[in-house]
Amino acid sequence: MLTNKKRTVIMSSFLALSLTLVGCGDTSENGAKTKDTKTEQAAEELSTERILTDAMGHEVTIPAKPERIIASYLEDNLVALDITPLAQWTVNDGASIQNYLQDYLKDIPTIPYDLPFEVVTSFSPDLLVMSSAEAVEGGKYEQYSKIAPTYVLEVENNSDWREKLLKVGEIFEKTDEAKQVLEEYEKKATDSKKIIQDSIGSESAAAVWLVNNTFFIVSENVSSGAVLYGDLGLSTPNVVKEISSTATGNWSEISLERLAELDADHIFLINSDKGNGAEMLLDPVWKNIPAVKNGHIYEYAAETSWLYSGPIANTQIIDGVVESLTK
C-alpha cells in the first residue's frame, strides 16, 4: 500500500506532467497564432497605399493593389509582368493597335492614344501611368490627377526599355518579377547572338520601314536598332551610323537614292504598304541595292513587333532575326 508521502509525490508528479503538456499545447497554439498574425501583417503591408515620386517630382499615392489601370503605350511592360490593363492604346479609332500583343489583350477595349479626359473618366480608373511628360503638357496633369492618381514614368520618351520595365515593376510592387523578365531576355539575347555569329559572322544589317511610299530607317541605339546592334551584335552600316548621329526619333526618313548607298549585308523590311502596291519596291534603284540583289531581304508586316519596343516586342524581334539569318 502507498503511504501518504508516496501518494503525495505521485500526485505531484502527475500534476507537473499535466501542466507541462498543457503548456506545450499552448505554445503550439500560440505559435500558430503568431505565424498567422505575421502572415496577415505581411499581406496587409503589401496591400497598403504607397507614396512614390514620379519623373516630374509629383508625390503620387499608389492605391493598394490597383486593378483598374490605364497605362497607354506601356502595355508591353504590363503584359510582361502579368498585369492586365483596363484599356489599350490605339490610333485612328482602333485602326492601329499593338497587334503583336493581341494574344494577351484581344478582349481589352481600346482608348485613343491622346487620352481624352472624358474617355478616361468613363473607364473609372484607379491609377493612370503616363509614359512621359509630353503626355501631360499644358496643364493636363492636374486634370488627369483629378480622375485618378497619375504617375509620369519619364521626362522624355525613348529611355532604355529596361529601366522603364524596372520602374513599372516598382510601381506595381513587382520588382523581382521585372528582374526575372530581364534575366530571361538577356540569356535569350546572348544565346541568339552566338547562333547568329555562327551563321553569318560579323555581317551587317539594317531595318527599313516602308509606309505610304516613303522609306524610314531605324536609328542605331533605339527600338529594333538597339536589338540588332546592341543585343545581337550585328555590324552597323555606315549609313545607319551617319543618320543616327542627327536623328531625333526612332525612325528617320531616308530617300531611295540614299538607300542605294546602304552598305548592309542584310535588310529587314517592315512593309506597311503591302497590299497597296508598294511601288517603291519596283523601282530599279531599290532592286539594285546589294542586299536586295543578293536575296538578303526579309519582309515583315507592319502588324509585327518591329515598330515597337519592350520585353515582349524585342523578344519577338530576336526570334524573327534568328529565323531569317539562319535559314
pLDDT in tens, 88-112: 999 988 789 999 999 999 999 999 9
Query: Mean per-residue pLDDT for 211-217?
Result: 96
Q: Do 199-325 and 50-175 have the same topology in CATH?
A: yes
pTM of the model: 0.84
Query: Mean per-residue pLDDT for 33-56?
Result: 70
- In this prediction, residue 55 carries a pLDDT of 96
Cβ(244)–Cβ(207) below 8 Å:
no
CATH architecture of 50-175: 3-Layer(aba) Sandwich (3.40)
Which comes out higher in pLDDT, residue 276 or 56?
A: 56
pLDDT over 70 (residue 84): yes
With bands split at pLDDT 50, 70 and 90, how would you rate the model's confidence at 38? low
- In this prediction, residue 41 carries a pLDDT of 55
* Long-range contacts, stretch 128-132, CB < 8 angstroms, 24+ apart: 128/69, 128/70, 128/71, 129/69, 129/70, 129/71, 129/74, 129/153, 129/168, 129/171, 130/71, 130/72, 131/71, 131/72, 131/73, 131/74, 131/157, 132/55, 132/156, 132/157
- In this prediction, residue 277 carries a pLDDT of 66
Identify any residues that bridge with 287 across adjacent strands, giving them in sequence order.
none
Structural domain boundaries in the chain: 50-175, 199-325
Query: Mean per-residue pLDDT for 173-182?
Result: 98
CATH architecture of 199-325: 3-Layer(aba) Sandwich (3.40)
